[in-house]
Amino acid sequence: MKETDLFRLIHSTEAVTNEMVIRWTKAFRHNIGISPVLVLWELKTNGPQKQSVLAAKLGYTAAAITNIAGKLVKEGMAERLADEQDRRMVLLSITEKGESVLREAQETGTRLRLNMFSVLSEEEVDQYLAINKKLLAALEPGAE
């Protein structure tokens, strides 16, 4: 494949992603963006965690995760808990409100993606799935 074709593909992929993020942000009624939603998802999926662990998993700086955690706590979507084994260690945990907001974020994203993908034919969906499967396999650890 020619390098110019790859750059066109990259630009096109980024344009779709950016447009979906913009549309999600406009459609989502809560005053948080994608990054706090990713933190809520991580907390819901893997339980209470230290902020440093969250930062490492999600690729955020310590300052960014501190800012995100502070906003989530202020909005009542997360809370800080003392670790039972080590009272000096503070864990961030999702609250019921956070779980509700996360569900809403996921529903909003699903609705927007269903609308976007509805323009594809059945054959195009099959091709897109095959391409994504191949790309995900290439991203697996050790696949380089």
Is residue 98 included in any domain, yes or no? yes
Report the largest interatomic distance among the alpha carbons of the chain, rounded to a whole angstrom: 57
Whether 139 maps to a domain, the answer reads no
Q: How many CB atoms lie within 10 A of CB 61?
A: 9
Residue 60 lies in a domain: yes
Average pLDDT value for the chain: 93
pTM of the model: 0.83
* Within-domain flag for 138: no
Does any domain span residue 136?
Answer: no
Residue 31 lies in domain: 3-118
The answer to whether residue 90 sits within a structural domain is: yes
- Residues 111-126, mean pLDDT to the nearest whole number: 96
Helix (H, G, I), strand (E, B) or coil at 94: strand
The string of DSSP letters for 43-92 reads HHHH-SB-HHHHHHHHT--HHHHHHHHHHHHHTTSEEEEE-SS-TT-EEE
Task: State residue 59's pLDDT score.
Answer: 96
Whether 74 is covered by a domain: the verdict is: yes
Q: How many structural domains does the chain have?
A: 1
Distance (Å, whole) CA 38 – CA 80: 17
CATH of the domain at 111: 1.10.10.10
Structural domain contains residue 108: yes
Eight-state DSSP code of residue 127: H
Give the pLDDT score at 124.
Answer: 97
pLDDT of residue 144: 66
